[in-house]
Amino acid sequence: MSLFIALIPMFAWGSIGLISGKIGGSANQQTLGMTIGAFIFSAFIFLFVQPVMTFQLVVVGILSGLFWSVGQNQQFHGMKYMGVSVGLPVSTGMQLIVNTIAGAIIFHEWQGSRDFTLGFIALALLVLGAYLTARKDDESGVKTTWSMLNFNKGLRALVFSTIGYGSYTILIKAMGLDPWGIILPQGIGMVVGASFFAFKKIKVNQYVWKNTICGLLWGLGNICMLLTMKTMGLAISFSLSQMGIIISTLGGIFLLGEYKTKKEMRYVIFGCLFVILGGILLGYMKV
């Protein structure tokens, strides 16, 4: 059952880039809309579960939400510059390295040579898969028509995104607080952080409100990851959640029309296979 719950973020989070890409809007509008949706989801869960709240839980929750807003905003910027089918796999690979190493080394989730051997093989497969799905065909001679394409700016944005996302997950894991209780303060921190980005005179219009759908999906994936983090650890639960790059990469190509050459499509296919193998290996570690 824990493994099934751990795979829900894969589908929920893997769809966010596609849905936000279809809806449109600026990166700041997408961030604000998504955080509003996530706050609505967390408020509903809070009213339904009614968890015990503490001062520590509220402070940590708000801080983690602020870190998340930085991570998500910069990821949206990265996808604007690099495209969903490239930006999200690169972001995923960077996050996998940070969170897996933090879980294995800092929180001592892997014990003995078996865990480290299988864990690092799985991590290598996931990162290799993420790299292949984003790899470009330099010999194609095809010039992209995406006006927003700028790999250097996109990579810089994803570095800041990884710092924000990594701080959000590591902080929650380090404090070991109740997942049901932390999501409402977290939602408040997310809205505050997104509102900061919104000060750049963004238009609160249909793009903001439509992107609340992404926030509801994120909220579902978030609570499932936090619950499995308690039973499976940060390294495994986060890595499984990031298998959604299969959905985002293929969706970016077939739904958003992001062009791939024949060689790049082969890279994508092999990349997805490596991600699947890495996920299966992580699941096997918990058998």
The one-digit pLDDT tens for each residue of the chain (287 residues) are 677 888 898 888 888 878 888 898 887 888 888 899 999 999 999 999 999 899 999 999 999 999 998 998 898 888 888 877 677 778 878 888 888 888 888 888 888 888 888 888 988 888 888 788 777 776 655 555 444 467 788 889 999 999 999 999 899 888 888 889 999 999 999 989 888 877 766 777 899 999 999 999 989 998 998 888 888 888 778 777 877 777 877 787 787 777 778 888 888 888 888 888 887 787 677 65
Q: Give 248-278 pLDDT, tens digit per residue.
A: 777 877 877 777 788 888 888 888 888 888 8
Cβ distance 217 to 33 under 8 Å? no
Domain count, the chain: 1
Q: Which helix (H) or strand (E) holds 207?
A: helix 206-210
Q: Report the chain's terminal Cα–Cα distance, integer Å.
A: 12
- Alpha-carbon distance of 88 to 140, in angstroms, equals 22
Our measurement of the distance from residue 34's CA atom to the centroid of its chain's CA atoms, rounded to an integer in Å, reads 13
Copy the structure tokens of residue 246: 């299969």
Of 249, 237, 218, 235, nearest to 89 by C-alpha is 249
Cβ distance 228 to 49 under 8 Å? no
Residue numbers of the domain that contains 112: 2-285
pTM as predicted: 0.78
Cβ distance 234 to 103 under 8 Å? yes
Q: Give 31-44 pLDDT, tens digit per residue.
A: 888 899 999 999 99
- Alpha-carbon distance of 40 to 188, in angstroms, equals 10
